[in-house]
Amino acid sequence: MNISELVTNEHLIWNLFIALLLGVIIGTQRGWVMRHRVEGSRVAGIRTYSLVSLLGGLIATLSSLYSPLLIGFGLIALVLLACIAFVMKQKRSEDISITGVVSLLITFIIGCLAVSGEAVLAAVAAVLTAVVLDNKKELHQALQKLQEYELDAALRLLLISIVMLPLLPNQSYGPWNALNPYEIWWMVVLIASISFVGYFAIKIGGAKRGILFTSVFAGLSSSTALTLQFSQLSREQASISPLLASGILLCCGTMFPRLLVVLSVINPDLVILIWPIILLMMIVLYVPAWWIWRSCEVENVDQNNKQTNPLALRSALFFGLILAVIILLSHVLSDWFGDAGVLMLSALSGITDVDAISLALGRQSTETLSVTIASIGVIIAASVNTLVKMGMVVAIGDKKLWYRVAPVMIGCVAVGGLASVIVFVINGA
């Protein structure tokens, strides 16, 4: 036996061992569930699942040597054997669940994957299978608590994201090539997702923890979308406006460290110049958000009026339309003013988005644009975006919401402007 054959055999042995262990993971969960049953009354336990996974590994090995059809024949044989065992079990009890049979077939396939060079995929599948099997009670309880309108909302979210979004062209159309259907619809999906996540976060964790979780989640994706959603919610439920205000401030504050992370990947020199400014603007938003959140005592939210619309799809569609108009308007103004400068473009871009202009300025600052101009452009875009979100709160939100949010956002922009002057003067810009 040469060295290559020895290495191949050793690799095969390890894969078979992995297949056996993955079967043990699933078998342990199934065996623990049926641990109180009389020995021999169980269709399959830890030994059976372990051996079935090992069987899948061995058949996959043979199929690589002879024919892939062996896996199909092996699976058919296992299905027949599992069906016979299921029928015999059903005659002795009224349990007609086929969960055990399905998990046995999955274990066989996991064993095949482990030996076919997909050990990581097999391990992930084994763990997920064990988790699903182990949470039977929790899943059934969640299903019993789920309302019909909530299920409809979940299905609509899947429809607009998984089905519709990939079908849209990811390219620009219209005047100035300003409108990208994929990007606009992605914002619609994002707003609807925040509404959906926020609804269930509040329902499961209460108003305080739910709003906190939703705000952090949205701050990593789109603070504008959350600001719109929470402003509308404050009109419907004014009693939780203080909590919603803390959520908006927390979410908008999270935009700033997100900017630093994005820019640090593109141009670290840019981050070195603006990080004190970004840090101060973040603190100005975070501290009031924390103080308002800590001082609120509301724990429950009346969600009865959300029964027909936990997804807020109509609001998301309206925002998508407004976004398209603003994007088109930004290109019109930019074309009219010609080469008026990077700073005007930053201000116009900040109306709708911060990440896009920040990425553009970051890349350009590594080539032809000075780091100072790029830094000023990023601060302008972030400040304009903050003021736009403040305008949303004032125009759409309840009074209890905007009088908590607006002064803080104005202070954030003012502190950012003052800090920018100091930082750029110190650096001789």
- Map 111-135 to HEC letters: HHHHHCCCHHHHHHHHHHHHHHHHC
Residues 421 and 329 in one domain: yes
Say if residue 329 is in the same domain as residue 390: yes
pLDDT at 413 over 90: yes
Q: Give a yes or no: residue 109 inside a domain.
A: yes
Minimal CA–CA distance to 107: which of 127, 88, 92? 127
20 is a domain residue: yes
Residue 7 maps to a domain: yes
* Per-residue pLDDT, 207: 63
Local structure of residue 168 (DSSP, 8 states): S
Residues 304 and 218 in one domain: yes
pLDDT of residue 307: 46
Contact 272, 261 (CB under 8 A): no
Q: What is the pLDDT of residue 306?
A: 45
Which contacts of 302-306 are long-range, i.e. CB under 8 A and separated by 24 or more positions? 302/237, 303/199, 303/202, 303/203, 305/236, 305/237, 306/199, 306/236
DSSP state of 173: B
Residue 146 domain-assigned (yes or no): no
Give 151's pLDDT tier (boundaries 50, 70, 90).
confident
| pLDDT: which is higher, 361 or 84 | 84
- For residues 179 and 198, state if they share a domain: yes
Answer whether residue 147 is part of any domain.
no
Q: Give the tens place of pLDDT for each residue, 357-373.
A: 776 677 667 766 678 87
Q: Is residue 133 part of a domain?
A: yes
Q: What percent of the chain has pLDDT over 70?
A: 78
Mean pLDDT of 29-56: 75
pLDDT tens-place string over residues 225-266: 788 888 888 888 888 888 889 989 988 888 888 788 777 877
Q: In this structure, what token pair is assigned to residue 151?
A: 């299920």
pLDDT for the residue numbered 3: 43
Q: Are residues 121 and 185 in the same domain?
A: no
pLDDT for 1: 44
Q: Which of 141, 168, 184 is the last residue of a domain?
A: 141
Supply the pLDDT for residue 311: 65
Q: Which of 35-44, 46-55, 210-219 has the lowest mean pLDDT?
A: 35-44
Residues listed for the chain: 429
Round to whole Å and give the CA distance between 375 and 346: 10
Claim to verify: residue 174 and residue 248 sit in the same structural domain: yes
User: Cα separation of 260 and 278, whole Å?
Assistant: 8
The amino acid at 49: Y
Q: Which residues, including other chains, have CB under 8 Å from residue 74's CB and lie 6 or more apart?
A: 55, 56, 59, 108
Please tell me whether residues 157 and 128 are part of one structural domain: no
Cα dist from 162 to 174, 220, 303, 311, whole Å: 25, 21, 27, 15
As given in the structure block, the two tokens for residue 264 are 């640090």
Residue 287: what pLDDT?
Answer: 93
Residues 135, 162 share a domain: no
Inter-axis angle of helices 268-295 and 399-426, nearest 10: 150
**203 and 299 co-located in one domain:** yes
Among residues 178, 216, 184, which one has the least CA distance to residue 197?
A: 216
Shared domain check, 223 and 181 = yes
The pLDDT tens digits of the residues spanning 93-134 come to 666 677 878 888 999 999 999 998 888 899 999 999 988 888
| pLDDT at site 340 | 54
> Does residue 38 sit within a domain?
yes
Residue 329, pLDDT score: 63
Quick one: pLDDT at residue 390?
Answer: 92
pTM for this predicted structure: 0.58
- Angstrom distance (rounded) from CA 56 to CA 116: 10
**Confidence class of residue 273 from pLDDT cuts 50, 70 and 90?**
confident
| Residue that terminates a domain, selected from 87, 108, 141 | 141
CB 46 within 8 A of CB 100: no
Three-point CA angle 60, 66, 68, nearest 5°: 50
The reported pLDDT for the residue numbered 45 is 73
Q: Please indicate, yes or no, if residue 195 is contained in any of the structural domains.
A: yes
Average pLDDT of the segment spanning 166-173: 86
Calculate what percentage of the chain has a pLDDT beyond 90: 14
Q: Are residues 250 and 326 in the same domain?
A: yes
Position 296 scores a pLDDT of: 73
pLDDT at 13: 84
Instruction: Spell out a b/e string for 69-90, using b for 16 or more CB atoms within 10 Å of the CB, else e.
Output: ebbeebbeebeeebeebbeebe
pLDDT on residue 238 = 80
Name the band, by pLDDT with cuts 50, 70 and 90, for residue 194: low
Domain hosting residue 68, numbered range: 3-141
Same domain, 101 and 187: no
- Other CB atoms within a 10 A radius of the CB of residue 304 amount to 6
Mean per-residue pLDDT over the chain, rounded: 79
Number of domains making up the chain = 2
- The domain boundary residue, chosen from 110, 141, 172: 141
